Structure 1
Amino acid sequence: MTYIVTLTSAQMAENESDWLITERFTKGLPTGLDTSDTGTRLALLVCDNRTSPTNNSRREFSEHGRFITWIGSVQRFNTVGPVDSSITIEPMRRCPRPVPLDGPDGVLASLSSMHRSHVEQALSGSAGHCGMTTWQALQEALLRKHPELARYIDWLLANLNPIRFDVEDAADRAWQEQRDAAQSLTRVTDFPHSALSAWGRPASRDAPYLAGLIPDPVENSLIDHDVRAGLGSEAPLFDDWRRLSDVRCDIHVLEDSSGRRLEVVNVNATPVESRLGTDMIYYHHPSHSFVLVQYKRLDSRNKEYRVNKQLLDQMDRLEQVAKLSSNPERPHEWRLSPDSCFLKFAHWRETAAPTSELAHGMYIPVSYARVLLDDDCTLGSRGGRIFSYKRVDRYLVGSEFADLVKLGLVGTVGTSVEQLRDFGLQRAREGYSVVLGFETSEETPRVRATRARSRSTKKKPKVNSYSPPTAQPPLFDVPGF
């Protein structure tokens, strides 16, 4: 089904400021309306401006008529009561300009009488839908008159129909882990996960996950991309990595209207078949602190990970990271423990489609992993060591880990950006896929903690999302690269 939600100009004006922040709208459906989970599951939001055009502050609505103003995807069908139901439209994007439906130049005029009748039926109430053949005709008419909508529709459909990963394929496994790492970064920074969700397989199997990212079509993102064509002082901190001959580096930037900025860097330096796994590194610049998560895949059948020499060697190297940390001198530098590196023993269902949820798994600090390896609980029947849900009684889940990071209760102390750059590039050259998040902001520790604990979406700032072009090469070589 393709849903059509119709609101008055006053209702539209009342909701738009909230939609720009939350990207979400829940709409009740008429009793008896079919909610089969079929078709595109796109939603068109229409402003009916035929009776009171002056009530809407947007100057585009100076004429009478109906206009498509927003496009979104139906992610959930909700049961309100014994017979009532609703849909949750998320994410939503405002059209670059309202699309007129009525009049000789409107979209309806170019439809056949049959398809026009079906669309009119969907428009007759507060919510309706049309079938696949009518949607295809409507889509063709929309794109003929408004080709700029193609990127909106493509992005939404990619979110609705994510590619299924084959866990038997090395490239798919790597992209699956990198996707989860990228989504983890949005969780610990409170940026929308939808900005990193729409994706298609890159042409090269060795390419990073971000190489297949389908750009968010949000209007101010496109404007910002044009403004930053020269980049200048706004060039990403890791932009020079994209000019290194032995790595493949992709960058995506999220910014909000409060000044917070997250630079997501995805770098690979080895062929996928020889890669050792995925590292997620999150660096919080105001506190000069980073956290590392190394992914380990649990066996899909038994949810077990059998410890081998490679893991023990990797743990030895991760323990060296603790030596980069200084002793806390101020209250906000105190941590629950010296641990800054975690193992995520994760599992995915075979051929499972990606979702907005993080992969299920156990987050275990390296020092705790050492204790577990010295205890009989991980001892296998043949003398080997095994990590599994049955053998590990205590661990962190994704939401618990994210809260600790948000509140600054885990991570290094006093780690410089230079150390981060050296360490991140070293990990990539050692054979890991690295997904690095670099957050900058003007937040004080108190403001950061208040934001992390807030559950309200009303006061969240608007987010801008873009993939910056490569900056001009520097006049001088960067030392150490």
Structure 2
Amino acid sequence: MTYIVTLSPDQLDDNEDDWLVSERFTKGLPTGLDTSDTGTRLALLVCDNRARPAKKRRNGFAEHGRFITWMGSVQQFNTVGPVDRSITIQPMRRCPKPVPLDGPDGILASLPSTHRAHMERALSESAGHCGMTTWQALQEALLRRHPELARYIDWLLAHLDPLVFNVEDAADRAWQEQKDAAQSLTRVTDFPNSALSAWGRPASRDEPYLAGLIPDPVENSLIDHDVRVGLGGEGSLFDDWRQRNDVRCDIHVLEDSTGRRLEVVNVNATPVERRLGTDMIYYHHPTHSFVLVQYKRLHSRSKEYRVNKQLLDQMDRLEQVSRLSSEPVRSHEWRLSQDACFLKFAHWRNGAASSTELAHGMYIPLSYARVLLEDDCTLGPKGGRIFSYERAAGYLVGAEFAELVKLGRVGTVGTSIEQLRDFGLQRAREGYSVVLGFETSEETPRARATRVRQRSAKKRPKVISYSPPAPQQPSSDAPGS
């Protein structure tokens, strides 16, 4: 089904500011409306301006009539009561300009009479829907008159019809882990994960996950204006990595209207068949602190991980990270422990589609992993060591780990940007896929904690998402890289 939600101008005005931030709208459905999980599951939000005086409104149109103003993906069907149903539309994007449905130049006039009747039926109530054949006719008419909407439709459909990863394939496994790492970064920074979720397989199996990112369909002119006027337009700290011959690096940036910025850097230096796994590194520039998560895959059926020499060697190398850390001096530098590195033992079901949810798994601090390896609880029946949910009762789940990172309770102390850059390149050269998040802002530690504890999406600032252009002139490796 393709859902049609009709709103009055006042309803649109009341909701638009919230939608620009939350990207989410829940709408009740008329009793008896079919909610079969079929078809596109797109949603078109229509403003009915026929009863209003023909005057210019802040939503951008003056004429009488009905206009498509927003588009979104129906991600969730909700049961409100024994009979009532609702849909949750998320993410949502505002159309570059309102698309008229009525009049000789409107979209409805260009539809065959049968499909026009189906659309009128869907528009007759506050929420309705049309079938696949009517949607196809509507889509053709929309793109014929408004080709700029193709980017919006493709981006939304990528959220609704994600690719299925094959856990038997090395490239798919690597992309699956990198996707989870990228979405972990948006979780610990409170940026919307929709910006990094629309994706298609890159041309080469060796390319990073971000190489296949389907860009957010926001207007380039809007990005340029917001970055230049509201957000400062800083260059990427890792631009020189994209000019190197020994690594492949892709960058994506999220910025909000307060100036807070997350630069996501995805880099690798080896063919996928020789990769050792994925590292997520999150660096919080205001406190000069970073956290590392190394991914390990639990067996998809037994949910176990059998410890081997490779893991023990990798743990030895991760313990060296603590040497980068200084002793805490100020209150915000205090940590719960010296652990800055975690192992995420994650599992994915084979054949499961990519989604915006993080992979299920255990976050285990490195020091706790050492304790477990000396405890009989991890001793296997043949003398080896095994990590599993039952054997590691003190693990963290994703929400617990994210909260500790958000509040600055874990991570290094006094780590410089130069150390971060050196460490990130070192991990890539050692054979890891690295997903690095570099957050900058003017927030004080107290302001950061206040924001984290503020749960209302309505108070969050507007966010833009874009891939910065690559440097024009090739150059040799930058000093200190």
- For normalisation by structure 1, the TM-score amounts to 0.97
Q: Distance in 2 between matches of 1:441 and 1:232?
A: 11
In the TM superposition, residue 321 of structure 1 has moved relative to its aligned partner by 0.3
Task: Give distance in 1, aligned partners of 2:398 and 2:256.
Answer: 24
SS of residue matched to 2:185: helix
Aligned alpha-carbon RMSD (Å): 1.6
Distance 1:432 1:60 in 2: 49
Cα offsets for 1:44-68 (capped at 9, x unmatched):
0000000114587326321101000
* TM-score (normalizing by structure 2): 0.97
What is aligned with 1:70? 70
Q: Which residue of 1 aligns with 2:177?
A: 177
Rounded to whole Å, the distance in 2 between the matches of 1:22 and 1:92 is 9
Q: CA deviation at 1:234?
A: 2.1
After the TM superposition, which segments of 4 or more aligned residues of structure 1 sit over 4 Å from their partners? 53-56, 225-229, 474-477
Q: Is the 8 Å Cα contact of residues 196 and 213 (structure 1) preserved in structure 2?
A: yes
Quick one: distance in 2 between partners of 1:53 and 1:416? Answer: 60
Whole-angstrom distance in 1 between the partners of 2:460 and 2:184: 19
Tell me which residue corresponds to 1:224: 223
Deviation at 1:301, TM superposition (A): 1.1
Partner of 1:302: 302
Overall identity of the aligned pairs, in %: 80
Structure 1, unpaired ranges of 5+: none
Q: 1:205 maps to which residue?
A: 205
Q: Structure 2 vs 1, CA of residues 395 and 475 (structure 1 numbering), >3 Å: closer, same or farther?
A: closer
Contact 1:9 1:53 in 2 (8 A): no
Cα distance in 1 for residues equivalent to 2:233 and 2:175:
31
Give the direction of change, closer, same or farther, for the CA distance of 1:206–1:169 in structure 2 (3 Å limit). Answer: same
Task: Tell me how far 1:27 sits from its aligned partner.
Answer: 0.6
In the other structure, the counterpart of 1:4 is: 4
Distance (Å, rounded) in 2 between the aligned partners of 1:399 and 1:187: 9
| Contact 1:290–1:340 (Cα < 8 Å) also in 2 | yes
Contact 1:5 / 1:43 at 8 angstroms: preserved in 2? yes
Alignment of 1:271-286 (within 5 A): 271-286=271-286
Corresponding residue of 1:263: 263
Aligned to 1:16: 16
Distance 1:57 1:316 in 2: 63
Asked if structure 1 preserves the Cα contact closer than 8 Å seen for 2:295 and 2:345, the reply is yes
Corresponding letter in the other structure for 1:224: I
- Aligned pairs for 1:305-384 (under 5 A) are 305-384=305-384
Residue 223 of structure 1 and its aligned partner are, at CA, apart by 2.8
Deviation at 1:235, TM superposition (A): 1.6
- Equivalent positions of 1:106-185 (< 5 A) are 106-185=106-185
1:407-438 per-residue CA deviation (whole Å, 9 max, x = no partner) reads 00000000000000000000000000000000
Q: 1:332 to 1:54 in 2, by over 3 A?
A: farther
Corresponding residue for 1:460? Answer: 460
**CA separation in 1, counterparts of 2:45 and 2:210?**
30
- In structure 2, stretches of 5+ residues that fail to align are none
Q: Kindly tell me: are residues 232 and 91 of structure 1, through their superposed partners in 2, closer, same or farther at Cα, counting changes over 3 Å?
A: closer
Tell me, in whole angstroms, the C-alpha distance in 1 between the residues paired with 2:121 and 2:59.
Answer: 28
Q: Deviations over 1:370-395 (max 9, x none)?
A: 00001111111111111011211110
Residue 124 of structure 1: CA displacement? 0.5
CA distance in 2: counterparts of 1:232 and 1:29, whole angstroms:
43
Deviation sequence 1:317-349 (CA, Å, 0-9, x none): 000000000000000000000000000000001
Structure 2 Cα separation of the partners of residues 239 and 414 of structure 1: 24
Answer whether contact 2:282 2:437 (CA < 8 A) is retained. Answer: yes
Per-residue CA deviations over 1:251-296 (Å, capped at 9, x if unaligned) read 0000000110000000010000000000000000000000000000
Q: Deviations over 1:109-168 (max 9, x none)?
A: 110000000000000010000000000000000000000000000000000111010000
Q: Count how many residue pairs are aligned between Structure 1 and Structure 2.
A: 479
Q: Distance in 1 between matches of 2:337 and 2:3?
A: 51
d(CA) in 1 for partners of 2:380, 2:303 = 14
Local SS of the residue matching 1:15 = helix
* Paired residue secondary structure (2:459): coil
